[in-house]
Amino acid sequence: MTYATTHSGTTPGDFGRELLSNLYYQRGTTLESASAQDAYHSLALTVRNRLVDRYIRTAAAHYQENPRFIYYLSAEYMLGRQLDQNLLYSGTQECAHSALAALGLSGDELDALDVEPGLGNGGLGRLAACLLDAMATQDIPAVGYGIRYDYGIFQQEFQDGAQVEHPDDWTFYGNPWEFHASDDQQKVGFYGHTEALDGVRRKWVPGEIVLGEPSHMLVPGYGTTTVNIIRLWKARASPQSFNLSHFGAGQYGEAVEEIVRSENISKVLYPDDSTELGRELRLKQQHFLVTCALRDIVRRFRLCNSDWDHFADKVVIQLNDTHPVMAIAELMRMLVDEEGLDWDRAWSITRRTFAYTCHTLLPEALETWPVELMRRLLPRHLEIIFLINHLFLQEVADRYPGDDAKLRELSIIAEGAEQRVRMAHLAVVGSSAVNGVAELHSRLLAATTLHGFANLWPGRFHNVTNGVSPRRFVRLANPRLAELITERLGDGGWLTDLDQLSRLEPAAADPEFRRRWREVKRLNREDLAEQTLATTGVVLDPDALCDVMIKRFHEYKRQLLRVLHVVTLYHRIRRGEVADVVPRSIVFGGKAAPGYYVAKRIMKLANRVAEVVNADPAVSPYLKMVFLPDYNVSRAQLIIPAADLSEQISLAGKEASGTSNMKLALNGALTIGTLDGANVEIRDRVGGENFFLFGLDTAEVAALRGRGYRPRDHYERDAELREVVDAVAGWDGELADDLMHRDEYLTLADFRAYVDCQDRVARAWRDPEDWTRMSILNTARSGFFSADRTVRDYCRDIWHVTPVYVPR
Ligand code: TH1
């Protein structure tokens, strides 16, 4: 099988010799006495070496061209495992396989030691990783900046059905993929005071200095020479922080207090997805990231440039949501206070440099920081934000004379019992472009959350619909399907030009192709069943419809609605009403923020229902339900290829985009979904007849809320719903009570439409030929959802960059 990728030209012999050399010189051991970790690290280094050549050539080409660079700033990256990726991208998969076999090493065993860096929560962090992948693949000069958390997203376990969180010490055995640069540290200030210089210039005298130490990982492009990097920063205390006099006095805790305080900054990823927390340490993390990143960006700019007026021509800084938005104030501080540029010139450079992606509409996710906290932690940045706001509000006042409400609406500072800095407002004011992440989301942003700004600066607002990496989520996750597609299309060019999948359309009418498509799905379901049995003890039927919901636990995503349907099926089966029932495997995956009480209750309910369903011999021929613990990128790579049905059932208007919806459709799952986020675009492309649509749309949601929503009416009207809610009440009275009396996310309002739509799904599943046809068409028509297309959209509408080709 051939793919359009860079072949290393290495033979298994070369590869094996190099592996042994790494074992000898890097691990100080031999094959006879090597531990599994020794062998794994040597394998990783051997693969990594293939990419280093390419990285060096990329850096040289970039130095020579002095191109415009994309600097992606994100508090989160969900990179996924590196070994499978780097074997594929270096073109050494097959030769590594043979070399390992010849050395008597088990590839699977070593593969199992490759730990995924879980430096993100969910879709936002995974999107960052997919975009970096696509930028490298398209030869876009780019660097990702982030935080090198010691502890990534917690590992999830269930005890009595409840989520228990364990720390994710992802570098416990070391990380072979990372290059450290301890001689390239940056100083980051906190606290202190400011002093007058001249004019608007002031001097910030920090009260505390923490060091940022970078390391980088390689981000290879697929089928090209380019290898970009992601640079991650770790907080280090300065050597003076160790208090010798305390130590001498036997006060060992006090002696390291300052070290611990400094190094806590990069200790742990905040495990909250789509909610704002407002903790001081989180603001410290944000400032730490942007200061390190900006100093590094300026250093890189100065390698080939000297004139600040060229900065915005050479530098694009893409802000991944509001988490890195302090960069706007920090760049102004550097330009005005340190470089002595006048305010207007600095502001023009800053505004042209930044672009902002908003990923949400949820009010609880829109970050704000108390002014008093910021005054204490970052006094100079607060002064700068106040000045930015002052000048901005003058512009607003000129445009809307006498309109105080307008000033209050748009101000970066929210007034109230306590003043707060609205980070999204700062982001919009300080950027030249703002984008949402799906068409519906971008439209709603401009019509609601950022309405006033969209009126003020309509040209600044864009849509860039999210996309996913077909390398990670088809080629690596689903090699069987990738092979079948490649065979049909003639070569692997579709992996970097995903619109070519449309050439599969005629194959949907070919019975032999459909048979092979079904065979791939069936084998993938067998793999999933095998892993499910090993991790949970639940036996899945590989012939049953594999019905999956994989995403963070959040009320708006409505995992509870999914559970209500399962209970409905359970009751029907118990009653012997199986006319509309087909055998299903219900698969859940996802984590809840540790402090998100309701999400955790829903999770526990799901586990309880699974227990009841799986234990009932009358029900289990039709229904099995499994909650796979510790959902992460690796688990996604296992579940997605097996899926037949993709649950995308958020309340309309709440999910900005979603990306599991894209991964699943691309792998031939049919979607059951609402008109929310990118579901709308998926349906437009795959065709309404190949998509199971149900539920209220955003206009109907607004109308229902306007009339006054009474969930109890639905309960009283619908006997089947009543039975389900009563059953839930027996397991969790609090959840049932909330459903009946509040039901913020309109679960009961959409229940009947959802259940009826699931019945349509079951009827469709009964016709395997037609289901397979629809499945193939879902894949064939999902080329649009490639992250390559997303990057092309960013390049065209926002970044205005062109590729730099790196010679082989
Ligand atoms: C997610 C959105 O919920 C999801 O719809 C979207 O597909 C994804 O971003 C990528 O665009 C978000 N994740 C977070 C995480 C935090 C704050 C806001 C959002 S929005 C911490």
Expressed in angstroms and rounded, the spacing between residue 483 Cα and the centre of ligand 1 is: 32
Catalytic residue of the set 333, 514, 663, 683: 663
CA of 677, closest atom in ligand 1? 5
Q: Name the band, by pLDDT with cuts 50, 70 and 90, for residue 8.
A: low
pLDDT at 204: 98
Nearest CA to ligand 1 atom 17: 274
Q: Half-sphere exposure (CA, 13 Å, Cβ side) for 607?
A: 18
- Report d(CA 11, CA 297) in Å as an integer: 39
CA of 126, closest atom in ligand 1? 10
Expressed in angstroms and rounded, the spacing between residue 122 Cα and the centre of ligand 1 is: 7
Nearest CA to ligand 1 atom 9: 124
Expressed in angstroms and rounded, the spacing between residue 595 Cα and the centre of ligand 1 is: 18
DSSP code per residue over 724-747: HHHHHHHH-HHHHHHHHHT-TT-H
Q: Give me the phi and psi of 237, to 5 degrees please.
A: -80, 150
Beta bridge partners of 229: 143, 218
pLDDT at 575: 96
Q: Name the band, by pLDDT with cuts 50, 70 and 90, for residue 97.
A: very high
Query: For this structure, is 521 an active site residue?
Result: no
Q: Which helix (H) or strand (E) holds 142?
A: strand 142-147
Kindly give the interhelix angle for 93-103 and 82-89, rounded to the nearest 10 degrees.
Answer: 110
Residue 400's contacts (CB-CB under 8 Å, 6 or more residues apart) are 406, 407
Q: Name the band, by pLDDT with cuts 50, 70 and 90, for residue 4.
A: very low
CA of 656, closest atom in ligand 1? 5
pLDDT, tens digit, for every residue of 517-526? 999 999 999 9
Nearest CA to ligand 1 atom 19: 274
Best residue for ligand 1 mutational test, from 149, 274, 674 (most atoms within 8 Å of Cβ): 274
pLDDT at 6: 42
In this prediction, residues 703-729 reach a mean pLDDT of 98
Q: Across all residues in the chain, what is the average pLDDT?
A: 97
What the chain holds in terms of domains, given with CATH numbers, is 1-65+89-113 (no CATH), 66-80+116-431 (3.40.50.2000), 507-782 (3.40.50.2000)
Ligand 1 pocket residues where CB is under 6 Å = 121-124, 127, 272-274, 321, 359-360, 365, 437, 466, 655-659, 677
Expressed in angstroms and rounded, the spacing between residue 124 Cα and the centre of ligand 1 is: 5
Q: Name the band, by pLDDT with cuts 50, 70 and 90, for residue 5.
A: very low
In this prediction, residues 685-708 reach a mean pLDDT of 98
- CB of 773 within 8 A of CB of 518? no
pLDDT at 404: 97
CA of 554, closest atom in ligand 1? 3
Expressed in angstroms and rounded, the spacing between residue 550 Cα and the centre of ligand 1 is: 14
Q: Which two tokens stand for residue 154?
A: 């917690």
pLDDT of 705 > 80? The answer is yes
Closest listed residue to residue 255, CA positions, set 264, 246, 263: 246
pLDDT of 239 > 90? The answer is no
Catalytic residue of the set 284, 333, 359, 789: 359
- Report d(CA 765, CA 5) in Å as an integer: 37
pLDDT, tens digit, for every residue of 118-172? 999 999 999 999 999 999 999 999 999 999 999 999 999 999 999 999 999 999 9
Best residue for ligand 1 mutational test, from 72, 124, 655 (most atoms within 8 Å of Cβ): 124
Catalytic residue of the set 6, 137, 659, 790: 659
Nearest CA to ligand 1 atom 14: 274
- Report d(CA 23, CA 30) in Å as an integer: 6
Residue 66's contacts (CB-CB under 8 Å, 6 or more residues apart) are 304, 305, 314
Expressed in angstroms and rounded, the spacing between residue 377 Cα and the centre of ligand 1 is: 27
pLDDT, tens digit, for every residue of 244-256? 999 999 999 999 9
Expressed in angstroms and rounded, the spacing between residue 745 Cα and the centre of ligand 1 is: 18
pLDDT, tens digit, for every residue of 578-587? 988 999 999 9
Q: Which two tokens stand for residue 471?
A: 């390398």
pLDDT at 3: 37
CA of 678, closest atom in ligand 1? 7
- CB of 674 within 8 A of CB of 695? yes
Percent of the chain topping pLDDT 70: 99
Best residue for ligand 1 mutational test, from 147, 273, 442 (most atoms within 8 Å of Cβ): 273
pLDDT of 9 > 80? The answer is no
- Report d(CA 618, CA 575) in Å as an integer: 10
DSSP state at residue 67: -
ipTM of the complex: 0.99
Q: Name the band, by pLDDT with cuts 50, 70 and 90, for residue 2.
A: very low
Expressed in angstroms and rounded, the spacing between residue 126 Cα and the centre of ligand 1 is: 10
Query: For this structure, is 663 an active site residue?
Result: yes
Query: For this structure, is 557 an active site residue?
Result: yes
pLDDT of 332 > 70? The answer is yes
- CB of 136 within 8 A of CB of 227? yes
Expressed in angstroms and rounded, the spacing between residue 464 Cα and the centre of ligand 1 is: 14
3-state per-residue secondary structure call for 238-283: CHHHCCHHHHHCCCHHHHCHHHHHHHHHHCECCCCCCCCCCCHHHH
CA of 441, closest atom in ligand 1? 5
pLDDT of 756 > 80? The answer is yes
Best residue for ligand 1 mutational test, from 273, 282, 359 (most atoms within 8 Å of Cβ): 359
3-state per-residue secondary structure call for 651-695: CCCCCCCCCHHHHHHHCCCEEEECCCCCHHHHHHHHCHHHCEECC
pLDDT of 274 > 90? The answer is no
In this prediction, residues 789-805 reach a mean pLDDT of 98
Catalytic residue of the set 557, 601, 714, 781: 557
pLDDT, tens digit, for every residue of 633-652? 999 999 999 999 999 999 99
CA of 270, closest atom in ligand 1? 21
pLDDT at 364: 85
pLDDT, tens digit, for every residue of 433-447? 999 999 999 999 999
Catalytic residue of the set 516, 552, 584, 654: 552
